Amino acid sequence: MSGTVYLVGSGPGDPELLTVKAQRLLEEADVVLHDKLPGPELLGSIPADKREDVGKRAGGEWTPQEYTNRRLVELAEAGHTVVRLKGGDPFVFGRGGEEAEHLAEHGIDFEYVPGVTSAIAGPGVAGIPVTHRDHTSSVSFVTGHEDPTKDESAIDWAALADTGGTIVVLMGVGKLPMYTAELLSAGMDPETPVALVERATWPDQRIGLGTLETIVEVRDDAGIEPPAITVIGGVAATRSRVRAFLKNGPDPGDDAE
Amino acid sequence: MSGTVYLVGSGPGDPELLTVKAQRLLEEADVVLHDKLPGPELLGSIPADKREDVGKRAGGEWTPQEYTNRRLVELAEAGHTVVRLKGGDPFVFGRGGEEAEHLAEHGIDFEYVPGVTSAIAGPGVAGIPVTHRDHTSSVSFVTGHEDPTKDESAIDWAALADTGGTIVVLMGVGKLPMYTAELLSAGMDPETPVALVERATWPDQRIGLGTLETIVEVRDDAGIEPPAITVIGGVAATRSRVRAFLKNGPDPGDDAE
């Protein structure tokens, strides 16, 4: 009798942003397969003897997705209740869809347990709503880390600019110069507000604020590094209007601008 | 000494999908301002004497946003700890941004507490990842309920089609014929998979599956009604590949197709 695999979102890192269901499943699980994305505080709260790290390995290499897929099937076939803990939500740029398909192909029961995505909570804790009636009717999420086996970017930045909606880029610190240039040449206003949220909801979270034209300089001056989220659009200016009364950290005086 | 207002996301409706923090704040709050979106099960778990419904009123009218804004300030100024409980995440099509700005303008401390958004969890519990390496590098969220004071739709459906990414429409049952037609005339493939997820994560959740060309008929035959989420894109076909092993309800045999 095979066990069940739970594809569980951990949320953005603050352990209090786990769902009640994720917290229960972490207690009930025999094994928790995870990478580094759930963050040190949350991982530290899981007993070490039931954790298996399938993220970066000793030699600095990444565990191939095929290994994780195989390991999930192996553990379930051995009758274990398995939690596959993923940063944010399992189905947002997390390869959770591939894991679900692999489990179904191998006849393993699985359940999806959604999590708070940092794509929304990251901007949010900085006081930035990804949608706002006065600014935008849509929001698009893209990843700065695309499939490295693809020859060229599958992201149509000009089409994203044309939507007129907020654009949120996950893992987009490194390629910031590339896509801000693409958006500018697609005709987006150079004065469009842009925010960077580094290590969203973690104790050492930092925020950078600028425009499509200035944000690369803000990043460089402040030394903002991955993991961080980029928010592009009118909504990014909300932080400066609300931060004096916003109780989510960090201190507004520390903003890089 | 004014109290603090917590803008709290309730998640999609399943009480176990509250965050640990939201659960704690609901217990600690003096007053909980809510509408119907968090769902009957979750609202029923909050003591009636600290709930204030700012959703639909007795006469069938909606409470104006101005009333909610004013009431939040009033309660905080009276020294209360206030939870403003919102369906999903407060900053996704929830007017949470407007409430945050109103609080800041009136000098009231507030905190944003993210929630699981039904825009991602709704497709997810149906076995549909909003992103997938094989299908899409982006996902866009739009609302089918736009500001009624606006003369025309601010949504550029053709630009959304051009992104090549998944499109998720919240509250989009009523206008389904309009926007499927717009996407078709923008050149989107009529065979593009489309899924409807009605009352996502609620006990009576239902799912409809079709294509850009057939989904209106599927909706009409099955009588799918609001609230529901529409998912447009290759990822929508994932459900039929995984549902036999997916433990999230409902029974795959009940799918409308």
Q: In the sheet that B193-198 helps form, which strands lie side by side, from edge to edge?
A: A206-211, A193-198, A228-232, A166-170, A138-143, B138-143, B166-170, B228-232, B193-198, B206-211
Name the fold adopted by A5-113. Answer: Cobalt-precorrin-4 Transmethylase; domain 1 (3.40.1010)
Q: Please give the CATH number for the structural domain made up of A118-254.
A: 3.30.950.10
- What ipTM, to 2 d.p.? 0.94
Residue among B14, B86, B89, B171 flagged as catalytic: B171
Joined together, the tokens standing for residue A231 give: 């928010």
CA B104 distance to own-chain centroid: 25
B35 a catalytic residue? yes
* Tens digit of pLDDT at every position of chain A (257 positions): 899 999 999 999 899 999 999 999 999 999 999 988 888 888 998 999 999 998 866 566 667 889 999 999 999 999 999 999 999 999 999 889 999 999 999 999 999 999 999 999 999 999 999 999 888 889 999 988 755 566 566 789 999 999 999 999 999 999 999 999 999 999 999 999 999 999 888 888 999 999 999 999 999 999 999 989 999 999 999 999 999 999 997 888 899 99
Q: Tell if the CB–CB gap between A110 and B142 is shorter than 8 Å.
A: no
Q: Any idea how long chain A is? A: 257
- Using the beta-carbon criterion (under 8 Å), do A162 and B162 form an inter-chain contact? yes
| Chain B residues lying within 8 Å of A17, measured CB to CB | 19-21, 114
Residues of chain B with Cβ-Cβ distance to A125 below 8 Å are: 112, 114
Q: B49 and B79 in contact (C-beta within 8 Å)?
A: no
Amino acid A56: pLDDT: 65
Q: Measure B226 CA to nearest chain A CA, in Å.
A: 19
Of A21, A133, A242, the CB nearest to B95: A133
Residue B133 with chain A: CB contacts under 8 Å: 95, 97-98, 147
CA distance A20 to chain B (A): 5
Determine, for residues B244 and A112 on separate chains, whether the beta-carbon distance falls below 8 Å. Answer: no
Asked whether the predicted pLDDT for residue B182 surpasses 70, the reply is yes
Best of B4, B27, B120, B167 to mutate (most A CBs within 10 Å, chain A) = B120
Domain ranges of chain A: 5-113, 118-254
Identify the pLDDT of residue B1: 84
Angstrom distance (rounded) from CA A129 to CA A123? 7
Instruction: Give the pLDDT band of residue B32 (cuts 50, 70, 90).
Output: very high
**In contact, B5 and B54? CB cutoff 8 Å:** no
d(CA B117, CA B111): 18
Evaluate whether A160 touches A139 at the Cβ level (below 8 Å).
Answer: no
- Please count the other Cβ atoms lying within 10 Å of the Cβ belonging to residue A196: 26
- Residue B250's pLDDT is 82
Contact A76, A55 (CB under 8 A): no
Q: How far apart are CA B73 and CA A244, in angstroms?
A: 16
